Structure 1
């Protein structure tokens, strides 16, 4: 489990085993043994890996499905979709808000919904980053559910 996650994160970052080994001061063979689950990194190495991969120790060891403390939950996604729908309904029913000069097509409204949802997601993540207490951000709790 841990090995697959380390390999996945390393590949996402686009670095070799040798480069990762150099960054955390271990041998390439050590990285290989972690990735094949022949051994596991100690806590110090896990913290270094979490820092390099910009995630939490919990995410690497499989205790959390969330990669970052500010990742959106399923509930967040549902709330965002509902908010976007309310905004779209407001646009469709308001004569004062007409971006197209004529009634919008289905495709135009779908594009508008996508744009609104993207903006809402960005704002929600920024709010989580800003308002999440530090005790939940640090020491491996970044990825806590």
Structure 2
């Protein structure tokens, strides 16, 4: 898996396209696509890592992501008792929690951006 593949996977998880990510990070058009064949520079790599909350080592394939147990962490974080729920119900709940956390994170980013202006 290339660095680009890892970035694409993270972007897909947040339901944004590579083009949108490039715009948000103020990268040139197709700059992330070039990561399919070459290793990115440190500054760009760090910017992407910070955006997704992962390490540069993860993006380079040197470590397992911190979020590898995100689903379990979410149910623990919200202290949800899933006893008596079907696997499908648990999966749906986890998906809803992930969506909620992404929405809140975006809202906080916008709030911070307004405060910085």
TM-score (norm 1): 0.43
Higher RCO, Cα 8 Å, sep 6+? 1
Q: Quick one: distance in 2 between partners of 1:53 and 1:13? A: 9
Q: 1:40 matched to which residue of 2?
A: 39
Mark the runs of 5 or more structure 1 residues left unpaired by the alignment.
Answer: 73-109, 113-145
Runs of 4+ aligned structure 1 residues displaced above 3 Å come to: none
Supply the RMSD in Å over aligned alpha carbons: 2.3
Aligned-partner Cα distance in 2 for 1:53–1:43: 16
Runs (5+) with no aligned partner, structure 2 = 70-81, 85-117
Q: Tell me what 1:30 maps to.
A: 31
Superposition deviation, residue 71 in structure 1:
6.3
Give the Å deviation of 1:49: 0.5
* Structure 1 residue 7 corresponds to structure 2 residue 41: no
The count of residues paired between Structure 1 and Structure 2 equals 71
Q: What SS does the aligned partner of 2:83 have?
A: helix
Higher Cα Rg: structure 1 or 2? Answer: 1
State the TM-score, normalizing by the size of structure 2. 0.52
